[in-house]
Amino acid sequence: MLAWGFVACLSPALMPSSGPIDSVGIEYAYYASQLTLLVLGACAPAVMRRWRPSVPPAAVAAASAVLACTTAAVCALSVTAGVRPHVVTVALQAACGVAYGACGLLLTVVWGARLTLEGERARLLALTSFLLCYVLYLVSFLMPQVLLRTAAVLAPLVSGGAWLYDSWRRSAESPEVWPTGGGASHEPGGESLGAPGEASAGEIALSILPWRQLVLYATVALVGNFVPAYVMGSSYARAGSIFPGASAVALGLALVAVPIVRPGAGPRSLDRFYRLVLPVAALGMLVAAVSPLGQAGVPDGVGTSGVVVVAGASMTIQMTTMLAVVQSTQLTGVSPLLSFSVGQGVVGGVVAIGNVLGRLAWAVLPGVASPLGTTWLALFCAAGVFCLLLLALAPVAQARPAGRVEERPDAAAGGGATGAREGADPAGVGLDDEAFDARVAAFAVDVGLTPRETDVLGLLLRGHSVASIGERLFVTAGTAKTHVLHIYRKVGVNSRQGLIDRFERDAAGRGGAA
């Protein structure tokens, strides 16, 4: 999840250390990267319905890390302190931002898929990665420019290298980490029968994503991005005080979230944390609304603190959005490539649209340094507080665990509910483990299962849920559900009970012998 912080770490690297700060390279590179996340997130569902990527995640991670390093270096070198960029420079920086955003999304997908394997620790580990990002961002403002830009350029390489090392260690235990021929063969329905790969395996169903949760979070983050953008207008004069302060606020709120999202806290813990952040954001808006403005047109003293709190709350909600994606991917078995692309698209869209709307409001309406501008700021903040109060009353829908999804008769034909419901009577009751495993192995040979599908079959017949199977085999819930679907198709059944009946008939035909 360090990929999430790439652009954030890159932004202070592109801020000029001296001279007027009216227009800097990060303005173009950063917004281009966020718009890229929005576009890719919006396109991901349609693309995945037509084409399931079969490129090994290792190749994706390596290529993304190298390309991100290259574009970060080019973008950093193109920034000239205190000079408004030339049109060619702007185009170059925007192109770098597009490439950087795409690479960051892909790295987030592979890391996100990896995080979902950690069981109940997944959200806490994701939260820890965000805490690290906030700390790095705060430290970046204290670093020399040369060292900072070097760190920003190397960040993607470090993240990609860490993922490759981790996946190399796991590849012997779980072949889905680096699949071979994952998309080589397909059944008429279009489902790949090769190793699915932990990043792309799973359901491609937008309906099972936590949309109500994402919309609520996105609305809060949108308001939180709009207010600072409107206050700053076209000037970055206060960026050096607002954004570090906002990171400190986000860091503090994330620390508060640690005991809330601890292992065993349940899926509703994110909802509790979201409702905790809402009054913090509302308080910041109220302070910004009633504070005096300085000569630069930005609230001074206490007023600046209000803007800082609003921006920090927005950053925290963006983090919470990604935690919700981690949780949903883990519980529902949706493809990480789909869920994390959509999640990053939501975050990128919120940041880009919120900032653009704030800039447009500043350009169209009187400047915030004028009395009328102060009135508009107060009205915006009041509307934001009212919006937050409404959001506090809105219910949040929770994702259903993959292992508890109700079966459907058409599951074998490609239906989404490939995981049987828990509570089905397990097979092999009364047999010792060795005899049961021998019976499973013989059955698997008869129906033509792969070694990994045989492992899944054994756990499925013992009554394990899809989520439990994924956790035991160290694969994503989506990968486990894909294997279950392949087993059902090869056996010719459409439910766990049908699988158990076929297994027991086969055993009876052998006279009860393994």
Which stretch of 90-104, 174-188, 201-215, 240-254 has the lowest confidence by average pLDDT? 174-188
Residue 376 has pLDDT above 60, yes or no: yes
Q: What is the pLDDT averaged over residues 104-128? A: 89
Poorest-confidence range of 314-323, 368-377, 468-477?
A: 368-377
402-420 mean pLDDT? 39
State the pLDDT at residue 193. 47
Q: Are residues 72 and 138 in the same domain?
A: yes
96, 318, 339, 397 alpha-carbon torsion, rounded to 10°:
-160
pLDDT score of 250? 92
DSSP helix/strand/coil, 409: coil
> Which pLDDT score is estimated for 254?
93
335 and 422, same structural domain?
A: no
Q: What is the pLDDT of residue 265?
A: 86
Q: For 510, which DSSP code?
A: T
Average pLDDT over residues 31-53: 86
**Range from 18-27, 77-86, 91-100, 104-113 that averages highest in pLDDT:** 104-113
Of 344, 364, 393, which marks where a domain is finished? Answer: 393
Whole-angstrom distance between the N-terminal and C-terminal Cα of the chain?
46
* pLDDT at 292 > cutoff 70: no
Residue-level pLDDT at 38: 92
Say yes or no: 97 and 167 in one domain: yes
What backbone torsions phi and psi does residue 256 show, to the nearest 5 degrees? -65, -30
Same domain, 413 and 368: no
User: Which residue would you say has higher pLDDT here, 210 or 372?
Assistant: 210
What does the pLDDT read at residue 222? 92
Alpha helices in 335-450 (DSSP H): 336-364, 371-393, 433-447
The residue-averaged pLDDT of 61-87 equals 75
Q: Looking at residue 16, what is its pLDDT? A: 55
Give the range of the structural domain holding residue 340, as residue numbers without chain letter.
2-172+202-393
Is the residue at 139 inside a domain? yes
In whole angstroms, give the CA distance from residue 103 to residue 261: 29
| Nearest partner of 210 among 53, 393, 395, judged by Cα | 395
Least confident window among 66-80, 117-131, 488-502? 66-80
CB-based contact 316:462 (threshold 8 Å): no
| Average pLDDT of the chain, as a whole number | 78
Question: Which residues face 334 on adjacent strands?
Answer: 203
Same domain, 298 and 439: no
Amino acid at 43: C
More confident: 123 or 14: 123
- 3-class secondary-structure state, position 184: coil
Q: What's phi and psi for 307, nearest 5 deg?
A: -65, -40
- Please compute the mean of the pLDDT values over residues 331-349 and round it to a whole number: 91
CATH assignment of the domain containing 467:
1.10.10.10
Most confident of 24-28, 220-224, 481-485: 220-224
CB atoms within 10 A of CB 119: 13
Per the listing, tokens 């029968």 go with 193
- pLDDT at position 186, please? 41
Tell me which H or E stretch contains 30.
helix 25-50
Residues 423 and 291 in one domain: no
Query: Is 191 part of a structural domain of the chain?
Result: no
CATH number of the domain where residue 60 is located: 1.20.1250.20
DSSP annotation of 427:
S
| Reported confidence tier of residue 39, pLDDT bands at 50, 70, 90 | very high
- The answer to whether residues 191 and 485 touch, using CB atoms and an 8 Å cutoff, is yes
Q: pLDDT band for position 256 (50/70/90)? A: very high
| Predicted local distance difference test score (pLDDT) of residue 219 | 92
The two three-digit tokens of residue 460, written as one number:
């499925």
How far is residue 209's CA from residue 218's CA, in Å, rounded to a whole number? 14
Asked whether residue 227 carries a pLDDT value surpassing 50, the answer given is: yes
Residues 281, 353 within the same domain? yes
pLDDT (tens digit per residue) in 92-107: 878 888 888 898 888 8
**How many domains does the chain divide into?**
2
Same-domain pairing of 488 and 419: yes
Q: Is residue 36's pLDDT more than 50? A: yes
Number of H helices, E strands in the chain: 17, 0
pLDDT at 392: 82
**How far is Cα 343 from Cα 324, in angstroms, rounded to an integer?**
9
| Separation between Cα atoms, residue 281 and residue 355, nearest integer Å | 17
Instruction: Report whether 113 contacts 57 (CB < 8 A).
Output: yes
The sign one gets for the Cα dihedral 312, 314, 320, 325 is negative
Instruction: Provide the sign of the torsion angle of the four alpha carbons 185, 191, 193, 197, taken in this order.
Output: positive
Residue 492 resides in a domain: yes
Any domain includes 428? yes
State pTM to two decimals: 0.85
Of 58-67, 80-89, 359-368, which one has max mean pLDDT? Answer: 58-67
Same domain, 365 and 462: no
Give me the percent of the chain exceeding a pLDDT of 70.
76
Asked which of 367, 393, 419 is the last residue of a domain, the reply is 393
Choice among 2-6, 278-282, 286-290, 361-365 with the minimum mean pLDDT: 2-6
CA-CA-CA-CA dihedral for 112, 117, 120, 125, to nearest 10? -40
Average pLDDT estimate for 461-473? 85
| Domain identity same for 319 and 414 | no
- pLDDT surpassing 50 at residue 415: no
Closest to 482 measured CA to CA, from 428, 419, 406? 419
What letter would DSSP give residue 400? P
The pLDDT assigned to 306 comes to 85
pLDDT in tens, 295-328: 445 555 556 788 889 999 999 999 999 999 999 9
| Distances from the Cα of 38 to the Cα of 32, 166, 323, 349, angstroms | 10, 29, 18, 5
Query: Does position 478 have pLDDT exceeding 60, yes or no?
Result: yes
412 pLDDT above the threshold of 50: no
What pLDDT is recorded for position 411?
37
**The three-state (H, E, C) secondary structure of 187-223, written as one string:** CCCCCECCCCCCCCCCECCHHHCCHHHHHHHHHHHHH
Mean pLDDT of 28-51: 86
| pLDDT at residue 165 in the model | 92
